[in-house]
Chain A
Amino acid sequence: MDKDDNQEKGETEDIRSCDPPSVDPNLSTETDNCSKAECQNNSGDQPSTDPEQAPTENGHEDSGEFVVTMLARGKLEEQGVGMMGSCPPLSITGTSEGAPTHRDEDVMAESWRQHRKHVFVLSEAGKPIYSRYGSEEALSSTMGVMMALVSFVQSSDNTIRSVYSDGHTVVFMQKGPLVLVSVSSSRQSEQQLRGELLYVYYQIVSMLTQASITRIFENKKNYDLRRLLAGSEKILDGLLNLVDSDPSFLLAAVHCLPLASSLRDSLSQILQKAITPNLVFSILIAKNQLLTIVQEKTVIEDARLEPADVHLLLNLIGASSAFQAGEIWTPICLPLFNPDCYFYAYISYLDPPECTVCLLLLSTDKEAFYAVAECKRRIEEAMLTQSSLSLIAKAHCYSVSQVGVSDLRHFMYKPFDIPDHHKQLTQFTSPEMEAPYSTEEERRRLLDLYRHMHGRIHSSSRPLKLIYHVAERETLLAWVTSKFELYTCFSPLVTKACAINAITKLLRWIKKEEDRLFIRYPPKYSTTPNPSKTHDKNE
């Protein structure tokens, strides 16, 4: 790790003045005053520490297990690969990373045009930052055209929103100094495509923080943000793949692994006891689904953790195998929680080499690595005594046949009337996709159908309460009430009476199983913040 230090310092010399984790003390005050206008959960009392210190200065003198990753510096991949040798590039999200080929794709070819969804990110100055397919360099003129369109419309005191053609929808979104464009043949609504672009934006923020992005471009309008994002294309690629294939993004909710409530309680208790000052969230994940989450009491009073933040976190971890190396301590921003400052995330897989169970501890204290690592050891010990890992390994997603309703092929259920709803993490439950949805293509098709119904039911101008759609290959029913949101898929020959019956049975079954399917009462703990790191509410 040390060998990289000099390389880093040399490289970043020229951008040190506008780089978030620079050592320039003058910049430290700016983050305190940064605008939180975009931040939905204004956590003014968040004891945010000074993110200006380069995290690379943490614990370099430590053991070989300890890897410091600087996502924004793009050293992640190099370090990870350097440590592990030749590790398989398969992430736990299950999406295989053929990423290198995307960068080299010929942007003039028909195959490039035929991609289902292109996403482009560029700066206001028209400088390319990211393209999902093809290299940004090759696409710089296309991106230039996009920026020209944006500015042209802007010059008449207007904002461009979208362009529709028979095959594609193009959606433009500007967030601060970044312009994001989606070119999609997926026939999704503009609202949904915009939501996806927002996720891309927030993933970038999760690596750099919004305040830094704003400051960088204020200082230098044509700054090339790729310098800070080098190496993280696969994170954005991974995010976009997930968005296409995982319904959690559509529902804006977190998927929990169904677990006997006793097991979940015992895991929660283990996490609850292993605390240290400034620890804010303790999260246990298995097979990319949530096992349990314990939250700091006072923090949760003011702002709740949004599912989107959890999704971004999970993607970040899953997008790179480097995280599987021992313990990771990395700065990370939770954009919806607070887009302007970093948390410090301790990430460790508890079951190497399978790496399916991941422990995530978030602290506001940059220096707290050892204390947090100690928490992990306590958690590990406790889990060993209780044989938690083997119990977790047995837990898996359920089959729709367990509901005991014929004709029902699949469903997604998201409750609203959970205890303490406005403070709790929104969750949903859904069974495995089985025949006839056993291929990638069929799963994508079903998800597209759900997406379409979701778009119609949540339309901003003419929302609906219920949609019942009889089509050739399946019958779908989508239903939104004040208590829940439900999407169901039946065989195409089901009668309406059967469908209604099925839904009644399903709702009853979910009610019966809710302790197993959801985290109903996320536990809390109280960690007194370290006085020297606390910022006053009034600052």
Chain B
Amino acid sequence: MASGMQEKLYNPSLLSFFVYNPSFGPREGEEEKKILFYHPSDVEKNEKIRNVGLCEAIVQFTRTFCPTKPAKSLHTQKNRQFFFEAEDSFWIVMVHWCSCSVFLKPVDRFWSPEHSKHVFCKYSLIDTVYGAVLRQCYSMYKLFNGTFVRAMETGGVELLMQKLEKFFYRYLQTLHLQSCDLLDVFGGIAFFPLDKMTYLKIQSFVNRVEESLSLIKYTTFLYNDQLIWSGLEQDDMRILYKYLTTSLFPRHSEPELAGRDSPLRPEVAGNLLHYGRFLTGPANIKDPEAKFRFPRIFVNTKDSYEELHLIVYKAMSAAVCFMISASMELTREFCEQLDSLVGPQLTLLASDICEQYNVNRRISGPEKEPQFKFIYFNHMNLAEKSTIHMRKTASVSLTSVHPDLMKILGDINCDFARVDEDEEIIVKAMTDYWVVGKKSDQRELYVILNQKNANLIEVNEEVKRLCATQFNNIFFLD
């Protein structure tokens, strides 16, 4: 089984992605009706039906052994399929092609699936990561389109298919599977560390705005792509956060980073009172002809099921989201009112925060322990922190460690998920890197140490030091 050739795991690429509901075409000859969305669309109809049929068969087969916990993934020699029953009888399936490059043959430089027929590598994809990515695909769809069931109720299968096509066609292009890792499993939120005073200032700002503009239902406040305050439920916030930080903010960040005299600098148009502007809605508030639209999002889908306008307003590094019921029409006047109310206050607040932040940094001295590569996640408030990941852009999230080490973190995370109790797992990889995982209550901490000649006790001491400085209020097992 093990080939003698050198193999290296390469990018898993998306082979296909489809949504189906087996109850839509139960009879022979009607199979095509089950398929609600299929990417790539140019695949032959019978091929689509076959692939969907296989998924159905696998799910049914696993139900023989446990009716309530059907299949989550299928591994074959050439690909991996992930299944997710998003809503009752609605299944989403993602198929990955795992490609390999074999270094010995120069022709493989132009490696493509056709050439790879004879070379299929051992998998090292972690199921939990891609299962999480698949669920995230659904959550993102649901954020902007509501549930499948509602779409069916509103406009039948046709409407649902339209929505799926419109959303996934674009969204799948933004998926970068090779950079998916443990953070996708967590789906966490980075919180911005603040002192009490500044936090209170932000709180009172939010309260003032919500009082003045009574239409506003929910508000969230972010600084520097990190969350400070949110009025939304956790599950909704985490997917909104992902959208903001990986899609909306990066799209609008380039002009801001440009220099003062750069032509890219957003048109301030004589308004020197504040630096606030709309990221969604009217790009230029001064232009009366310009049409604008706010994106609609759906929150609380399990109970109150609300459709809201999403207003994202930014001043320097501070960004605020205001959510207003979609049944309201948001006029230009309203936007101007919001702009004049929020703009100056937010600008002031943003510079306050910036100042405080710099002060804090000076006090605390040089960046705390930058040499520690770690990932921290708290299941209770979804707070995550990673010194391994560089800034997430729309395209890719860079890590400063080898992907295999990230997969080891994933393995440890799987082990932690098996039990409820607090645990500690320390491993030494073949490359002599040490990985330490600690679980305490609902918190997880992973540390990667590059200390080849250290032994277990030394590694333990190092990690204890890290915990003492960064996490001194959390009891981790010794």
Decide whether A and B assemble into one complex. Answer: yes
Residues of A bordering B, CB below 8 Å: 113, 118, 142, 145-146, 148-149, 152-153, 156-168, 170, 183, 187, 190, 452, 456, 459-472, 495-497, 499-500
Q: Which residue of A lies closest to B461 (CB)?
A: A496
Q: A460 touches which one: B78, B122, B457 (CB < 8 A)? A: B122
Tell me, in angstroms, the Cα distance from A467 to B477 when the chains sit together: 16
Tell me, in angstroms, the Cα distance from A148 to B54 when the chains sit together: 10
B477 touches A160 (CB 8 A): no
A113 touches B404 (CB 8 A): no
A164 touches B76 (CB 8 A): no
Stretch in B168-176, B264-272, B295-303, B418-426 with 4+ CB within 8 Å of A: B418-426
Stretch in B60-68, B147-155, B211-219, B354-362 with 4+ CB within 8 Å of A: B60-68
Chain A residues within 8 Å of B392, by CB: none
Quick check: is B201 within 8 A (CB to CB) of the other chain?
no
Tell me, in angstroms, the Cα distance from A163 to B82 when the chains sit together: 10
Tell me, in angstroms, the Cα distance from A461 to B2 when the chains sit together: 11
A149 touches B460 (CB 8 A): no
A456 touches B411 (CB 8 A): yes
6 smallest CB-CB distances across A and B, nearest first, come from: A461-B124, A470-B424, A166-B69, A472-B421, A466-B428, A159-B77
A164 touches B72 (CB 8 A): yes
B65 touches A183 (CB 8 A): yes
Binary per-residue interface labels of chain B (421-444) against chain A in the complex, 1 for a CB within 8 Å, 0 otherwise: 111111111101000000000000
List 19 contacting pairs A-B, 8 Å CB cutoff, sorted by A. Answer: A145-B61, A156-B50, A157-B78, A158-B79, A161-B75, A161-B76, A162-B75, A164-B74, A165-B66, A183-B65, A460-B122, A461-B124, A462-B429, A464-B429, A465-B430, A465-B432, A466-B428, A469-B425, A471-B419
B61 touches A464 (CB 8 A): no
B-side binding surface: helix, strand, loop or mixed?
Answer: mixed
A-side binding surface: helix, strand, loop or mixed?
Answer: mixed
A168 touches B62 (CB 8 A): yes
Tell me, in angstroms, the Cα distance from A18 to B317 when the chains sit together: 80
B57 touches A149 (CB 8 A): yes
Tell me, in angstroms, the Cα distance from A337 to B428 when the chains sit together: 35
B457 touches A462 (CB 8 A): no
A113 touches B65 (CB 8 A): yes
B62 touches A170 (CB 8 A): yes
Chain B residues within 8 Å of A460, by CB: 2, 122
A128 to chain B, nearest CB (A): 15
Residues of B bordering A, CB below 8 Å: 2, 9, 50, 54, 57-58, 61-62, 64-66, 69-79, 122-124, 127, 404, 407-408, 411, 415, 418-419, 421-430, 432, 455-457, 460, 477-478
Tell me, in angstroms, the Cα distance from A523 to B40 when the chains sit together: 65
B423 touches A469 (CB 8 A): yes
A163 touches B429 (CB 8 A): no
B460 touches A462 (CB 8 A): no
Q: B455 touches which one: A461, A467, A500 (CB < 8 A)? A: A500
Q: A500 touches which one: B70, B79, B429, B457 (CB < 8 A)? A: B457
Of listed B62, B64, B424, residue having the most chain A CB within 10 A:
B64
Chain A residues within 8 Å of B430, by CB: 462-465
Q: Which residue of B lies closest to A190 (CB)?
A: B75
Tell me, in angstroms, the Cα distance from A472 to B426 when the chains sit together: 15
B427 touches A464 (CB 8 A): yes
Known: A153-B76, A462-B404. A163 touches B425 (CB 8 A): no
Known: A167-B66, A183-B65, A495-B478. A149 touches B425 (CB 8 A): no
Tell me, in angstroms, the Cα distance from A466 to B454 when the chains sit together: 13
B104 to chain A, nearest CB (A): 19
Q: Which residue of B lies closest to A142 (CB)?
A: B64
A470 touches B54 (CB 8 A): no
Chain A residues within 8 Å of B415, by CB: 452, 469
Chain A residues within 8 Å of B477, by CB: 470
A163 touches B455 (CB 8 A): no
B58 to chain A, nearest CB (A): 6
Tell me, in angstroms, the Cα distance from A326 to B1 when the chains sit together: 43
Tell me, in angstroms, the Cα distance from A118 to B66 when the chains sit together: 13
Q: A464 touches which one: B62, B65, B408 (CB < 8 A)? A: B408
Tell me, in angstroms, the Cα distance from A146 to B61 when the chains sit together: 8
B65 touches A168 (CB 8 A): yes
B326 to chain A, nearest CB (A): 36
Tell me, in angstroms, the Cα distance from A461 to B427 when the chains sit together: 15
B424 touches A163 (CB 8 A): no
Tell me, in angstroms, the Cα distance from A470 to B424 when the chains sit together: 5
A158 touches B421 (CB 8 A): no
Q: Add 20 more A-B contacts to A462-B124, A467-B425 (CB < 8 A).
A: A146-B61, A149-B61, A152-B54, A153-B76, A159-B76, A163-B62, A164-B75, A165-B69, A165-B70, A168-B65, A168-B66, A183-B65, A459-B411, A462-B411, A463-B430, A468-B426, A468-B456, A469-B415, A469-B425, A470-B423
Tell me, in angstroms, the Cα distance from A160 to B74 when the chains sit together: 8
A500 touches B57 (CB 8 A): no
Known: A149-B57, A471-B421, A471-B423. A158 touches B75 (CB 8 A): no
Tell me, in angstroms, the Cα distance from A471 to B455 when the chains sit together: 20
Tell me, in angstroms, the Cα distance from A452 to B9 when the chains sit together: 24
Known: A158-B79, A166-B69, A471-B421. A145 touches B428 (CB 8 A): no
Tell me, in angstroms, the Cα distance from A463 to B77 when the chains sit together: 21
B75 touches A496 (CB 8 A): no
B65 touches A467 (CB 8 A): no
A19 to chain B, nearest CB (A): 31
Of listed A146, A462, A464, A500, residue having the most chain B CB within 10 A:
A462
A467 touches B426 (CB 8 A): yes
B365 to chain A, nearest CB (A): 30
A158 touches B404 (CB 8 A): no
A284 to chain B, nearest CB (A): 35
B444 to chain A, nearest CB (A): 14
Tell me, in angstroms, the Cα distance from A263 to B423 when the chains sit together: 46
Chain B residues within 8 Å of A148, by CB: 57
Chain B residues within 8 Å of A146, by CB: 61
Q: Which residue of A lies closest to B83 (CB)?
A: A165
Known: A464-B430, A469-B424. A496 touches B457 (CB 8 A): yes
Chain B residues within 8 Å of A183, by CB: 65
Tell me, in angstroms, the Cα distance from A464 to B412 when the chains sit together: 12
Chain B residues within 8 Å of A162, by CB: 74-75
Tell me, in angstroms, the Cα distance from A156 to B51 when the chains sit together: 10
A113 touches B66 (CB 8 A): yes
Chain A residues within 8 Å of B408, by CB: 462, 464
Chain A residues within 8 Å of B77, by CB: 158-159, 161
Chain B residues within 8 Å of A118, by CB: 65
Chain A residues within 8 Å of B421, by CB: 471-472
Tell me, in angstroms, the Cα distance from A190 to B65 when the chains sit together: 18
Tell me, in angstroms, the Cα distance from A228 to B478 when the chains sit together: 58
Chain B residues within 8 Å of A469, by CB: 415, 423-426
Tell me, in angstroms, the Cα distance from A44 to B127 when the chains sit together: 44
Tell me, in angstroms, the Cα distance from A157 to B75 when the chains sit together: 14
Chain A residues within 8 Å of B404, by CB: 461-462
B122 touches A467 (CB 8 A): no
Q: A163 touches which one: B73, B124, B427, B478 (CB < 8 A)? A: B73
Tell me, in angstroms, the Cα distance from A183 to B122 when the chains sit together: 22
Chain A residues within 8 Å of B457, by CB: 496-497, 500
Chain B residues within 8 Å of A468, by CB: 424-427, 456
B395 to chain A, nearest CB (A): 26
Tell me, in angstroms, the Cα distance from A183 to B71 when the chains sit together: 12
Q: A165 touches which one: B54, B72, B76 (CB < 8 A)? A: B72
A145 touches B57 (CB 8 A): yes
B404 to chain A, nearest CB (A): 5
Chain B residues within 8 Å of A152, by CB: 54, 57
Tell me, in angstroms, the Cα distance from A156 to B78 when the chains sit together: 10
Q: Which residue of B lies closest to A112 (CB)?
A: B65
B408 to chain A, nearest CB (A): 6
B411 touches A496 (CB 8 A): no
B435 to chain A, nearest CB (A): 9
Q: A465 touches which one: B66, B122, B425, B428 (CB < 8 A)? A: B428
A276 to chain B, nearest CB (A): 40
Tell me, in angstroms, the Cα distance from A213 to B397 when the chains sit together: 53
Chain A residues within 8 Å of B66, by CB: 113, 165-168
